[in-house]
Chains A and B, each alone.
Chain A
Amino acid sequence: MRLIGPGLASRGGVAHASKVTRLGSAIRLQRVNHVYQSGRVTVEALHDIDLEIPASGYVALTGPSGAGKSTLLSLIGGLERPQKGDLFVGDHDLQQLRGDALAAYRRTTIGFVFQHFGLLDLLSARENVQLAASLSPSKGQRQRAEQLLDEVGLKDRFEHRPGQLSGGERQRVAIARALVNDPSVILADEPTGNLDAASGMRVLDLLERLRTQRGCTLLVVTHNEAVAQRAEERYRLDAGRLIA
């Protein structure tokens, strides 16, 4: 279900004039298990994960390296399908999605923000955002890209390539790209991992502001306790098991 509008509905029944709230698009995992092969060793990445994230929620996922955070993010983002268990994002049953339908899900429902930014070096900031927009069959891609870059404070950096931008600026381009197709869920994998503390906090401020304005669900995977503390809810993964 699409957004209802400012002040008309919100989580917990509290209306905020500046907040757009989406209904639906909750993330729900039921007894999700996932293993992968590392050489001859079978690694249990996720074990019986039960998790429910409300629509427009802001959740942080922490845990040590190898705990399964990225795997969980990959499953929710439709980068791979869970081997066992049920995974729903809004109306999408990810066990049932294949091929183009899965690509369409990633395109329209999910916005990814990576630790490594994931920008194409050969394209300018505008072209990177526009490329993501071009994946959706809609018009005005250039305008939307420029508008979003303006929104993330990069009005003067449209034609700069990633190599000509600072880490914080690159991550802001990545955020603009994640939002260009108006997703209902933003998945941020260590969004401040490659940034200094000040830049990291500014990026986080931006993510939170945009999430509030657009009513997206925000799931942040992080090692950083300071980042995790800013979320409304926190979960910890350890050895593939979810610890409240």
Chain B
Amino acid sequence: MNWNDSLALASKSLRRRPARALLTILAVALGTTLLVALGSVASTAGSRIVSKLSNGGPGTAIKMAASQADSDQAYTDDLRATVAKPITDGTIDTLRRSPHIAAVIPVMAARVLVVPPPFGSAAAATRGQPAFNDTMVGVDVRQANNLPITVLAGRLPEAKSLTDVAITESYLDHSSMSVSGALGTEVEVAEPQAFQSQAGLQFRGRWIRARIVGVVSQQVGSGALLVPIEQAQLARAWALSGVDGGDVFPLPRSPYSGAIVLASSLNDLHAARSIVTGLGYANTAPEHLVTSVLRYLRVVDIVLAGIGAIALGIAAMGVANALLAAVRERRREIGVLKAIGARDRDILRWFLLEAFSVGVVGGVVGTVAGLLIALWVGVSVNDYLSQQGLQSIQFGDVSWPLIAAAVLGSSLLAMAAGVVPALQAARLAPREAVAGA
């Protein structure tokens, strides 16, 4: 009897007692549902917590400053900056060559004078908000997914755009504008340059006007404006074409004011951070915090997996019980099969495939149900978060390893549960064929 024959026999045997088969499949499906739903929710919640700890960016992000680190930098998550230390393209290239580092994203911050509307001559007649000094943070917006930036409303500036700008809550506070009121309006920005005149050190501005396209929460650098890095580099070039403004406005000598260094994985975070520290740069990353939180999350995962495993264990007992009943019912059939020449392993395979089929069907049904429940939980949680004015959580990502593990795991577990009944069936004496005849 080949595998196809055995599978066909197993499938038909299941259909003979549809109610029992359905209940057994439901037991497996319920166990799998619980495991998948808990796994999905725990995984999403875990990554969300890590993301929160790393200020909205990936947990592997290291924030590096254009400053010399002090001797205690290696022992703390905090930034331990001393004197200025330029970050050059050479520094960036050196970091990018490390196998522990997945990406290095340069950051350029520039001090600016921000003027909310109204502008121009009307300003004299209209009482508007006063201009304020702040910082414009320039990044490669194409890599925003790898940066601690969260879009609260609107969108990010287009890459390389010199007319798009995103604002932070700092701008809203200074301008007394609401999110909806600010979106789509324009802002005037003066990029300063120091120069010497007969009256001494003076400043002049390179004025730009940009449209506010989004509101963001960002931890790349402190500042009211987020712009494409090209805009910030123009501001730097303008400042460098002037003179050193001393303590008031020193020349931005470092090509980059900072960088976001992404470790290849959480396991590489420590090594990546050691490299940055080893190069002498002050840096900050929630390394120790993430590590200890991950330990707690791991405990939560184990507890949830334990709950799921208990459910699957109960399902496995259901499978074993159903198969034991089937063996009792089919004693004569098993005897007849042996009498006509079936080997022990043919009988074993028949029952194991029956258990496996229950596991596969239950696993698939349970996995789909589990994912749907996780999705439903996500929708409910997001409803609550939006009512509270909080940013929603990204649920519903399909974790293929989880799906594969759930279907394969439940199938193998069901088959394992079928081993004892299958062995019992395989060891039945062929004499059963004529017993009681």
Contacts and interface: CB of A to CB of B under 8 A. Distances in A.
A118 B337 CA distance: 9
A99 B341 CA distance: 11
Interface of A: 70, 73-74, 77-80, 99-100, 103-104, 106-108, 110-112, 114-116, 118, 120-123, 131-132, 134-136, 177-178, 181, 189-190
B433 A118 contact: yes
A112 B15 CA distance: 27
B341 A118 contact: no
Interface string B13-24: 101100000000
B381 interface: no
Q: Lowest 10 A-B CB distances belong to which pairs? A: A107-B341, A118-B336, A79-B430, A122-B12, A103-B343, A135-B341, A106-B341, A134-B5, A132-B340, A79-B431
A189 B434 contact: yes
A114 B342 contact: no
Contacts of B1: 131, 134-135
Interface of B: 1-2, 5, 9, 12-13, 15-16, 332-333, 335-344, 346, 429-431, 433-434, 437
Contacts of B338: 79, 103, 106
Contacts of B337: 120, 131
Contacts of A104: 341
Nearest to B9: A131
Contacts of B15: 122
A107 B337 CA distance: 10
Nearest to A123: B12
Nearest to B336: A118
A103 B341 contact: yes
B12 A74 contact: no
Nearest to A105: B341
B437 A112 contact: no
A74 B2 CA distance: 27
Contacts of A70: 434, 437
22 contacts: A79-B429, A79-B434, A99-B343, A106-B338, A106-B339, A106-B341, A106-B430, A107-B341, A110-B339, A111-B340, A112-B340, A112-B433, A118-B333, A120-B333, A120-B337, A121-B16, A123-B9, A123-B12, A135-B342, A181-B340, A181-B341, A189-B437
A115 B435 CA distance: 11
Contacts of B340: 106-107, 111-112, 132, 135, 177-178, 181
A77 B13 contact: no
Contacts of A115: 437
B437 to A, nearest CB: 5
Contact of B341 (A73, A74, A114, A136): A136
